[in-house]
A and B are shown apart, each in its own frame.
Chain A
């Protein structure tokens, strides 16, 4: 049975259907994969400048908007200097 329980209290990366990437600590979830993120930040990728982190705080994301949830290796993530990272932003899903 697939479960999000293992991610609770861990820092995770959320990708939403609109292409946004949000990192935060998973504080909770429910049957519909609605997710509570604490201390969350949006990571805005662009080719012009380094990754911009926008603090968002406490967030409740609806499950139907979530594309993927991945556990973040905090040590590895801290070792990356985001200001040097250039990447195309993800496009939103289109139907």
Chain B
């Protein structure tokens, strides 16, 4: 499981972020990107010594300054379930298409049709999907 898919699944969940300078931020994840830049809302900031606190309505943290994030334990199962569901859906969608393979090559091209048959006939394999 990719760290970034875990982070994406953590949207609207509470988390603790520690920066490289030791400061910590407790809040709910609003958004994140592939650099691990994040925005949090309803944040409690703590200094590195842990003796001073600030409350922030919202804050943006640059991904490169982060040391680690702590997220709810339940997220791991949620992401794993979601991934296996997605795999299952992909499998059955492809399966349904292959079983109706007689109609292949006519009518609207179905996404996933190309490449569904590995190493199959090359004709129509590439570059016919759009605007053909």
Contact = CB atoms under 8 A, between A and B. Distances in A.
Interface of A (DSSP majority class): strand
Quick one: which of B1, B2, B36, B68 has the most chain A CB within 10 A?
B68
B6 A36 contact: yes
Interface residues of B, number: 22
A30 B68 CA distance: 14
A62 B66 contact: yes
A65 B68 contact: yes
A60 B67 contact: no
Interface of B (DSSP majority class): mixed
Q: What size tier do the contact residues of chain A reach?
A: 10 to 19
A16 interface: yes
Contacts of A27: 1, 6, 76
A13 interface: no
Contacts of A38: 73, 76
A43 B2 CA distance: 25
B3 interface: yes
Interface string B93-107: 000000000000000
Interface stretch (A51-59, A72-80, A82-90): A51-59
Given A27-B6, A29-B2, A58-B73, 12 more contacts: A18-B67, A28-B5, A29-B3, A30-B2, A34-B4, A35-B3, A36-B1, A36-B6, A36-B76, A57-B73, A60-B69, A62-B67
Interface of B: 1-7, 20, 22, 36, 63-64, 66-73, 75-76
